[in-house]
């Protein structure tokens, strides 16, 4: 039988098979059930004393696991939590476990290492620093098609042009963009001592799964496979000493972002958004994801802010998508605004030709916008280092 809402409700209604926690649970506590592809999320509620909630959640979990074992069903993930109303009526949630692991097991969840620490712990709390890398920067967005990879590539190249040692990791496992945007098509992958050697182009050390698989082959992978691929790209690439490692994330708030947060300590994240409201809605979700994972949001970039028509003199600007929308979103969320990047023919042409360095040449609106973004970004990284405390360094002379 497929694990669905009816199956879960029937499992929770099954008679208790002993155990002290059985008396703490009642089916009437079940407020909400979500079930899809073997993943189950149950929310309980009710006037239950705090000391009895753990027992109720543990019993609910036990009944679901017992029913799955008896019916030969496979649970890929299971989460039981207790929702109650706070003093001011706002919902609060007490989580029993991570997906896919028994209560009190302390093991890793389906996407990677387990979280540690007290109630305020986040995915970043136990994440290690990446050896040799001063700052790991995630570039993400709530939805696809907003130019996240464009921002990541130009941010990396802009930092390299200012003398920084920069790495660029294409974390978009399903739709890698670096082979085209960084001009990697003609380059061969090199492996030394079982370590991938990054491609050195435009002053940047770049690595992408797009150079490790057939360029036209779709990667039809579930979450654990994407997790493993991303982990290998991070840990089996010979990055060397870097001032910045820029990570171009896939769109959305899924497996790769969670894996990244568990795998390495980040200085912060940049969220990319276009001006229109539909993009802002998803960008807010990306911001909340980073905050929930314990990653500092360094700022928002408004991409495709306006179109520059360069075939007339003087060049004219058109606000195709409602210029300034992402800036207002950043203000509403209390986040730094890193700048606006226009749509220009040169930006499209240089991206298609794998020549992002050309975007920083000449005195153009595009060059000025990119330089402004890089300057604002460097300022926010400096502030983040002050807030979080600089990493200790050892000098031997």
pLDDT per residue rounded down to tens, the chain (397 residues) = 578 888 888 888 875 544 555 667 888 888 888 776 677 888 888 877 777 788 888 888 899 988 888 888 888 778 888 774 433 333 444 433 333 333 333 333 333 333 334 445 677 878 899 999 999 999 999 888 899 999 999 999 999 999 999 999 998 888 899 999 999 988 988 999 989 999 999 999 999 998 987 777 776 767 678 778 888 899 999 999 999 999 999 887 777 888 898 889 999 999 999 999 989 999 999 999 999 999 999 999 999 999 988 878 888 889 988 899 999 999 999 999 999 999 999 999 999 999 999 999 988 999 999 999 999 999 999 998 887 755 555 555 5
Residues 332 and 283 in one domain: yes
112 assigned to some structural domain: no
pLDDT at 15: 58
101 assigned to some structural domain: no
Q: What is the largest CA-CA distance in the chain?
A: 83
Contact 279, 273 (CB under 8 A): yes
Angle in degrees, 0-180, between the axes of helices 277-293 and 325-333, rounded to the nearest 10: 30
199 assigned to some structural domain: yes
What distance in Å separates the CA atoms of residue 289 and residue 302, rounded to the nearest whole number? 19
* N residues, the chain: 397
Residues 158 and 60 in one domain: no
Contact 290, 214 (CB under 8 A): no
Answer with the one of 95, 123, 149 that is the final residue of a domain. 95
In 198-313, where do the E strands start and end? 199-201, 204-208, 242-248, 268-273, 297-309
Model's pTM, two decimal places? 0.68
Q: Which residues are within 8 A (CB) of 210 and not within 5 positions of it... i.e. 6 or more apart? A: 170, 176, 177, 178, 179, 184
Residues 80 and 145 in one domain: no
Collapsed DSSP state (helix, strand, coil) of residue 85: strand
Pairing of the two strands 204-208 and 91-95: unpaired
Residues 146 and 295 in one domain: yes
What distance in Å separates the CA atoms of residue 217 and residue 239, rounded to the nearest whole number? 27
120 assigned to some structural domain: no
Tell me the β-bridge partners of 308: 317
342 assigned to some structural domain: yes
The count of domains in the chain is 2
Residues 14 and 65 in one domain: yes
Residues 71 and 190 in one domain: no
Residues 58 and 174 in one domain: no
The domain in which residue 48 lies consists of 5-95
pLDDT at 108: 36
Residues 148 and 80 in one domain: no
Residues 140 and 91 in one domain: no
361 assigned to some structural domain: yes
Q: What are φ and ψ of residue 225, in 5° steps? A: -70, -40
Residue closest to 206 by CA, chosen among 184, 231, 236: 184
Residues 281 and 329 in one domain: yes
Q: Which residues are within 8 A (CB) of 120 and not within 5 positions of it... i.e. 6 or more apart? A: none
Residues 305 and 357 in one domain: yes
Question: Within a 10 A sphere around the Cβ of 137, how many other Cβ atoms?
Answer: 24
Question: Within a 10 A sphere around the Cβ of 23, how many other Cβ atoms?
Answer: 12
């Amino acid at each position: 039988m497929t694990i669905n809402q009816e199956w879960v409700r029937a499992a929770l209604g099954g008679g208790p098979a002993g155990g002290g926690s059985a008396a703490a649970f009642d089916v009437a506590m079940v407020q909400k059930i979500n079930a899809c592809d073997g993943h189950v999320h149950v929310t309980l509620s009710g006037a239950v004393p705090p000391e009895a909630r753990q027992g109720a959640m543990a019993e609910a979990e036990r009944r679901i696991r017992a029913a799955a074992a008896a019916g030969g069903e496979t649970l890929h993930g299971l989460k039981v939590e207790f929702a109650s109303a706070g003093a001011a009526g706002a919902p609060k949630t007490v989580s029993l476990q991570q997906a896919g692991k028994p209560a009190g097991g302390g093991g890793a969840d389906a996407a990677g290492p387990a979280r540690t620490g007290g109630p305020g712990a986040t995915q970043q709390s136990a994440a290690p620093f990446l050896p040799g890398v001063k700052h790991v920067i995630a570039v993400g967005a709530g939805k696809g098609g907003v130019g996240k990879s464009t921002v990541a590539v130009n941010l990396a190249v802009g930092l390299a042009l200012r003398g920084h040692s920069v790495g660029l990791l294409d974390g978009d496992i399903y739709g890698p963009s670096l082979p085209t945007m960084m001009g990697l098509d003609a380059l061969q992958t090199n492996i030394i001592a079982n370590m991938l050697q990054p491609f050195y182009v435009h002053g940047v050390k770049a690595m992408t799964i797009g150079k490790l698989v057939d360029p036209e082959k779709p990667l039809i992978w579930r979450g654990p496979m994407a997790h493993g691929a991303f982990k290998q790209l991070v840990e089996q690439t010979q990055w060397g000493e870097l001032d910045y490692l820029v990570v171009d994330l896939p769109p959305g708030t899924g497996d790769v972002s969670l894996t990244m947060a568990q795998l390495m300590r980040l200085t912060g994240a940049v969220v990319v958004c276009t001006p229109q409201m539909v993009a802002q809605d998803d960008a807010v979700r990306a911001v909340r994801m980073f905050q929930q994972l314990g990653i500092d949001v360094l700022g928002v970039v408004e991409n495709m802010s306006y179109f520059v028509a360069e075939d007339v003199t003087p060049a004219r600007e058109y606000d195709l998508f409602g210029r300034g929308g992402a800036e207002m979103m950043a203000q509403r969320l209390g986040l730094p605004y890193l700048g606006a990047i226009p749509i220009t023919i040169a930006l499209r042409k240089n991206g298609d030709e794998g020549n992002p360095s050309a975007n920083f040449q000449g005195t153009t609106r595009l060059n000025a916008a990119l330089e402004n973004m890089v300057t604002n970004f460097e300022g926010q990284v400096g502030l983040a280092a002050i807030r979080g405390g600089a990493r200790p360094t050892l000098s031997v002379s």
